[in-house]
């Protein structure tokens, strides 16, 4: 019905009933519910166009100003917010950067401010919000390591802050897993979607997701897909997770820049690294190969375990360095059984908004990918809440998807 | 009903109906079907024990001589056969050894001979066989590498030979995957079963299985769980699969004996290696640690991807070398997130008959673990059949489980 209203514009109940093949009675019930929830509005009656007799029929339309779902992705250095309407269409998306040291209370304020900016710019309101999906980096925080007993303090605090601000259900999950979900659901046309997918995201951090038999794998403790914290070099660098030689210490944006500098090529940021790769700088290419090999070995191992149809490599590091993806693909193919068809390895098609889109996808709950996947908003533990914070803005840039 | 007959012995239809809580009518239909299929027999009437009037009621019992399911596991150096009755109880199990060079036609004959020996020894017949489950090593054979287009010639030939011999449905799968299934379903008491499990089997070959969210993972090409062919040392030894440095080149029975010999300790077989480990021989312990580290790194990587509740290490190599399992467990725990609960790592509880039991479990089809798992017998391609072979025996040793 919502899809019909989106494509057909304002329609009477009778017209909608005909279009979607429902009885007038059933349709009126659904319409009543949607009106109460603020997803649709009565725009006018069809009186002026009527030639016959009888009471003029109300015409209904999507409320174009009603943000119904909010997807939020807290990365290490920026928050991304995406807004969807009642028909699940993305109506606005924006990002706000912060330093990696930015405390979580401030990050949450940035997200609130960004949501307000998007609302102002796109003439949206969040009065009828049905849910907020939130991606957070890793299961880890310096203050409170994730344990299996309960969501961490940080997650609980973020959860509660959003619940208080928007008065609606909140779903919190790892942002790379959500990005993998988005890539599986939205990254390719529906007829090209696969049932078995391994996803890794190389960005400020490194994370991933595993889809098996058409379902996003949650894992026993909600720690599945943590490919960034597989040990690739037991004698390697210290990782922020407390371990040594994790894939993240080799394949994150910072690790790539450090390795390139070690080869005598000092670059300010990932864009400069990408340019150096494009220019064929030997140091940049050598690092791309090294990192691609390490990524490919982890992906190859996981691929041997779950035999996916597709391996997807995403994140800013992968996007600026095609030779890295090519090398990872080579290693994955080398790992596959001789004579068998190796999984397709491809660059992610979604960009930095993948986590926010995945958070929305998790909210929409419309995919068989999510069967058996925990969908309940996490229980917020008693004392973890922060007081309702004032809404501030600052330093945001807002764009439309 | 079958379970009731197994525990209660011979009973009349009325007694069974009371015991299982079904109507007489429904029960009589089921009993008729089971009688036709040879799963149960009429043993006598209850006339002599009756004190009242009326027609004496027939008493029904399981046919203790009716082998209803056959599980077969073709290893690299022996075939294992297990027989279950209509109530899914294992009634006989045996093994027959052959050299690794033994051709598949001969291996199949060994299995037939072993089945006949078991039938003779336990006074069983296979006239009412409901299905044969078969595990085979790897997806690979020197003659015909597995491709994704069709089951290999070898699998098709084995499948057809059994179908012709027993005239019943045949299910063929990788034997390590079946062993993993058996370990998940039968390796622990029902109340200790877990939904997420990673299994590796270190034996003449190395294989594995992955259970995610209560389901055995099949994979896109049926190549899931192939942990033995993950590359652990790109500069390592050649593997029979055609690649280099696979886990199997480090952790198989032969690899362990070779590594021990390289350290100056020449041992005739795995039992001798186990004795050397028990005696604290430094060479044997060093190899156990080395192999345990390699196994642990592969398991740790897969565990980071799917976050299992349990990691199970099986096979003869693990069984004779507890320090190997302990070292693998240490590495898996080291790989896990600081602050999170690492998966339990345990030695498999099932023994060499795990593959045959898994083949039976796959046949029984009674577990939610098998939902979404391919259950249809594979289609046998036209010309792959061998002529119906004569039944021979030889070199078998038969035991009861």
Question: Residue A98 in 3-state DSSP?
Answer: coil
| Residues A243 and A359 occupy one common structural domain | no
Taking alpha carbons only, the member of A4, A7, A389 closest to residue A161 is A389
Distance from CA of A315 to the nearest CA of B (A): 18
What are the 10-residue block averages of pLDDT along chain B, 401 residues in total?
78 88 86 82 72 74 82 91 86 92 88 94 85 77 36 69 86 86 82 87 92 80 88 92 93 97 97 97 98 97 94 96 98 87 91 85 61 41 30 27 29
Domain CATH for B231: 3.30.420.40
Structure tokens at B104: 């598949």
Residues 124-163 of B with CB under 8 A from A: 139-140, 145-148
Position B260 in a domain: yes
* Closest residue in chain B to residue A340, using alpha carbons only: B147
Q: Do B307 and A241 lie within an 8 Å CB cutoff?
A: no
Q: Does B208 touch chain A (CB under 8 A)?
A: yes
Structure tokens at A323: 């030779």
Q: Does B243 touch chain A (CB under 8 A)?
A: yes
Position A182 in a domain: no
Of A28, A45, A62, which closes a domain? A62
pLDDT of residue A393: 27
Position A283 in a domain: yes
Residues 51-90 of B with CB under 8 A from A: none
* Closest residue in chain B to residue A296, using alpha carbons only: B231
pLDDT of residue A380: 30
| Residues B44 and B118 occupy one common structural domain | no
Q: Do B343 and A218 lie within an 8 Å CB cutoff?
A: no
pLDDT of residue B62: 81
Indicate the pLDDT class of residue A364, thresholds 50, 70 and 90.
confident
| Residues A152 and A229 occupy one common structural domain | no
* Closest residue in chain A to residue B143, using alpha carbons only: A339
Any idea of the CA torsion for A301, A305, A310, A312, to the nearest 10 degrees? -40
Distance from CA of B133 to the nearest CA of A (A): 22
pLDDT of residue B375: 41
Alpha carbons B362 and B178: distance in angstroms, whole number: 7
| Residues A112 and A137 occupy one common structural domain | yes
Position A181 in a domain: no
| Tens of pLDDT, residues A199-212 | 999 998 899 999 88
| Residues B44 and B149 occupy one common structural domain | no
Contacts of A340 in chain B (CB under 8 A): 139, 145-148, 221, 223
Alpha carbons A228 and A315: distance in angstroms, whole number: 12
Residue B202, exposed/middle/buried by CB under 10 A (0-12, 13-18, 19+)? buried
Position A117 in a domain: yes
| Residues A100 and A202 occupy one common structural domain | no
- Phi first, then psi, for residue A50 (nearest 5°) are -80, 140
Q: Do B306 and A224 lie within an 8 Å CB cutoff?
A: yes
Domain CATH for B24: 1.10.10.10
Instruction: Pick B305's closest partner by Cβ from A139, A305, A372.
Output: A305
- Phi first, then psi, for residue A150 (nearest 5°) are -160, 160
Residues 333-352 of B with CB under 8 A from A: 334-335, 337-341, 343
| Tens of pLDDT, residues A368-383 | 455 555 543 333 333 3
Q: Do B220 and A300 lie within an 8 Å CB cutoff?
A: no
Position A307 in a domain: yes
End-to-end CA distance of chain A: 24
Across the A/B interface, how many CB contacts are shorter than 8 Å? 181
Alpha carbons A226 and B340: distance in angstroms, whole number: 12
| Residues B318 and B266 occupy one common structural domain | yes
| Tens of pLDDT, residues A292-305 | 999 999 999 999 99
pLDDT of residue B331: 95
pLDDT of residue B121: 94
| Residues B290 and B328 occupy one common structural domain | yes
Q: Does A201 touch chain B (CB under 8 A)?
A: no
| Residues B217 and B103 occupy one common structural domain | no
Instruction: Pick B338's closest partner by Cβ from A210, A241, A297.
Output: A241
* Closest residue in chain B to residue A200, using alpha carbons only: B305
| Tens of pLDDT, residues A205-238 | 899 999 887 778 878 877 889 999 999 998 999 9
Residue corresponding to tokens 């052959």: B98
* Closest residue in chain A to residue B222, using alpha carbons only: A307
Q: Do A145 and B338 lie within an 8 Å CB cutoff?
A: yes
Higher-confidence residue of B37 and A388: namely B37
Distance from CA of B153 to the nearest CA of A (A): 14
Contacts of B215 in chain A (CB under 8 A): 212-213
Structure tokens at B199: 């299994």
Structure tokens at B336: 């896990």
Pick from A151-160, A244-253, A265-274, B52-61: least confident: A151-160
Structure tokens at A129: 């919000």
pLDDT of residue B145: 38
* Closest residue in chain A to residue B293, using alpha carbons only: A234
Position A183 in a domain: no
| Residues B219 and B298 occupy one common structural domain | yes
Position B53 in a domain: yes
| Tens of pLDDT, residues A13-70 | 888 888 888 888 888 888 888 888 777 888 877 666 666 666 778 888 888 788 788 9
Q: Does A101 touch chain B (CB under 8 A)?
A: no
Range of the domain at A370: 69-176+355-399
Structure tokens at A294: 């390490």
| Residues B120 and B210 occupy one common structural domain | no
Percentages (nearest 5) of helix, strand, coil residues in chain A: 40, 20, 40
Of B46, B62, B78, which closes a domain? B62
Any idea of the CA torsion for A248, B224, B154, B250, to the nearest 10 degrees? 50
Q: What is the 3-state secondary structure (H, E, C) of chain B?
A: CHHHHHHHCCEEHHHHHHHHCCCHHHHHHHHHHHHHCCCEEEEEECHHHCCCCCCCCEEEEECCCECCEEEEEECCCEEEEEEECCCCCEEEEEEEECCCCCCHHHHHHHHHHHHHHHHHHHCCECCCCCEEEEEECCCCCCCCCCCCCCCCHHHHHHHHHHHHHHCCCEEEEEHHHHHHHHHHHHCCCHHHCCCCEEEEEECCCEEEEEEECCEECCCCCCCCCCHHHCECCCCCCECCCCCECECHHHHCHHHHHHHHHHCCCCCCCHHHHHHHHHCCCHHHHHHHHHHHHHHHHHHHHHHHHHCCCEEEEECHHHHHCHHHHHHHHHHHHHHCCCCCCCCEEEECCCCCCHHHHHHHHHHHCCCHHHCCCCCCCCCCCHHHCCCCCCCCCCCEEEECC
| Residues A129 and A211 occupy one common structural domain | no
Q: Do B306 and A226 lie within an 8 Å CB cutoff?
A: no
Residue-level length of chain A = 401
What is the CB-side half-sphere exposure of residue B373 using CA atoms within 13 A?
29
- Phi first, then psi, for residue B302 (nearest 5°) are -65, -35
Of B311, B333, B349, which closes a domain? B349
Instruction: Pick A223's closest partner by Cβ from B212, B231, B337.
Output: B337
Based on the structure, what is the number of domains in chain B? 3
| Tens of pLDDT, residues B166-223 | 888 888 888 888 888 888 887 788 788 888 899 999 998 899 999 887 778 878 877 8
Interface ipTM above 0.90: no
């Amino acid at each position: 019905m919502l899809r019909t209203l989106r494509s057909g514009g304002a329609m009477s109940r009778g017209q909608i009933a005909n279009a979607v093949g429902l009885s007038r009675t059933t349709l009126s019930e659904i319409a009543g519910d949607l009106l109460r929830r603020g997803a649709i509005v009565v725009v006018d009656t069809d009186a002026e166009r009527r030639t016959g007799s009888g009471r003029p029929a109300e015409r209904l339309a999507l409320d174009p100003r009603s943000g119904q779902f909010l997807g939020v992705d807290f990365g290490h250095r920026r928050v991304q917010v995406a807004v969807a309407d009642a028909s699940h269409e993305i109506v606005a998306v924006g990002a706000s950067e912060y330093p990696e040291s930015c405390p979580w209370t401030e990050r949450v304020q940035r997200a609130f401010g960004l949501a307000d900016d998007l609302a102002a710019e796109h003439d949206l309101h969040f009065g009828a919000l049905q849910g907020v999906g939130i991606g957070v980096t890793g299961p880890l925080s310096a203050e409170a390591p994730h344990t299996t007993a309960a969501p961490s303090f940080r997650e609980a605090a973020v959860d509660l802050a959003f619940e208080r601000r928007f008065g609606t259900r909140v779903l919190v999950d790892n942002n790379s897993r959500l990005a993998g979900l988005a890539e599986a659901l939205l990254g390719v046309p529906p007829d090209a979607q696969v049932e078995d997918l391994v996803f890794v995201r190389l960005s400020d951090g490194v994370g991933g997701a595993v889809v098996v038999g058409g379902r996003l794998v949650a894992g026993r403790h909600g720690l599945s897909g943590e490919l960034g914290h597989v040990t690739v070099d037991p004698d390697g660098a210290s990782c922020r997770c407390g371990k040594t030689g994790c894939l993240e210490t080799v394949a994150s944006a910072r690790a790539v820049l450090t390795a390139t500098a070690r080869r005598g090529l000092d670059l300010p940021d990932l864009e400069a690294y990408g340019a150096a790769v494009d220019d064929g700088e030997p140091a940049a290419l050598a690092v791309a190969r090294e990192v691609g090999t390490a990524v490919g070995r982890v992906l190859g191992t996981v691929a041997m375990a779950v035999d996916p149809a597709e391996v997807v490599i995403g994140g800013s590091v992968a996007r600026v360095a095609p030779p890295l993806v090519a090398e990872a693909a080579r290693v994955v193919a080398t790992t596959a059984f001789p004579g068998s068809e190796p999984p397709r390895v491809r660059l992610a098609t979604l960009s930095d908004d993948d986590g926010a889109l995945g958070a929305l996808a998790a909210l929409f709950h419309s995919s068989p990918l999510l069967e058996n996947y925990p969908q309940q908003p996490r229980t917020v533990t008693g004392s973890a809440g922060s007081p309702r914070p004032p809404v501030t803005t600052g330093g945001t840039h807002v764009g439309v998807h």
